[in-house]
């Protein structure tokens, strides 16, 4: 019987929800540990233990000094398992034990954002954990940097105010809506 795959993700807190959703869709023989920047500060031993237990590690490293605690453990783990360490600072990428192109692709899944890319990142890391070709995993889905979204729109997003307004005016008329709209700004991921 094959050993259960353990994937460890240590990421910024803002990425937690979408990764947890993606982890819920993983096969039953895959155990996913997701820790966040707060855990790096408050529970560093839990982060180190998660790295030690992993068959593949993904870290989206922050710049705070607390993250330095993980560096030696990531280097040690990288001798035995695939480690993808990405960050806004390209200097942290040297902690990856995979080819730079592999780390860059994993980074695109996370930076492009969205539920589909989070699910693909999970599959990508699982392929790395099993030593399988990552080319079998769908490429990151390009997402716009900005757009307009409505939960009842047939489009996943609108790229312009004009396109949104055209849809919304018809929608509001059908629903009998009057008055002003409220818009919320939120992050891509």
- pLDDT over 50 at 9, yes or no: yes
Share of the chain above pLDDT 70, in %: 96
Q: What is the pLDDT at residue 187?
A: 65
Which of 27-41, 108-122, 173-187 has the weakest average pLDDT? 173-187
pTM for this prediction = 0.84
pLDDT band for position 171 (cuts 50, 70, 90): very high
Is the alpha carbon torsion for 12, 13, 19, 23 positive or negative?
A: positive
Q: What is the pLDDT at residue 189?
A: 56
Q: Is 176 exposed, middle or buried (0-12, 13-18, 19+ CB in 10 A)?
A: exposed
Instruction: Summarize the confidence of residues 60-89 as an average pLDDT.
Output: 95
Instruction: Summarize the confidence of residues 125-141 as an average pLDDT.
Output: 96
Q: Please give the mean pLDDT across all residues of the chain.
A: 92
For residue 61, the SS3 value is: strand
Q: What is the pLDDT at residue 184?
A: 72
Q: What is the pLDDT at residue 1?
A: 37
- pLDDT over 60 at 58, yes or no: yes
Q: What is the pLDDT at residue 46?
A: 97
Q: What is the pLDDT at residue 155?
A: 86
Which letter, b or e, does each residue of 115-154 get, where b requires 16 or more Cβ atoms within 10 Å of its Cβ?
ebbbbbbbbbbbbbbeeeebeebeebeebeeeebeeeeee
Q: What is the pLDDT at residue 131?
A: 95
Which of 7-11, 78-82, 178-182 has the weakest average pLDDT? 178-182
């Amino acid at each position: 019987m094959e050993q259960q795959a353990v994937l460890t993700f240590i990421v910024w807190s803002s990425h937690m929800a979408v990764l947890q959703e993606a982890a819920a869709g993983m096969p039953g023989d895959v155990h996913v540990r997701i820790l966040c920047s707060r855990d790096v500060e408050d529970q560093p031993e839990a982060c180190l233990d998660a790295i030690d237990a992993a068959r593949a590690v993904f870290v989206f490293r922050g710049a705070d000094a607390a993250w330095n605690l993980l560096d030696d453990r990531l280097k040690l783990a990288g001798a035995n398992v695939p480690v993808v360490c990405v960050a806004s600072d390209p200097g942290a990428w040297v902690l990856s034990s995979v080819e730079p192109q592999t780390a860059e692709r994993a980074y695109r899944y996370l930076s492009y954002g969205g539920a589909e890319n989070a699910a693909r990142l999970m599959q990508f890391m699982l392929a790395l954990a099993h030593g399988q070709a990552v080319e079998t995993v769908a490429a990151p889905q390009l997402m716009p940097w900005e757009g307009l979204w409505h939960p009842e729109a047939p489009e996943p997003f609108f790229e312009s105010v004009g396109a949104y307004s055209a849809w919304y005016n018809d929608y509001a008329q059908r629903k009998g809506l009057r008055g002003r709209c409220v818009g919320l700004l939120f992050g891509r991921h």
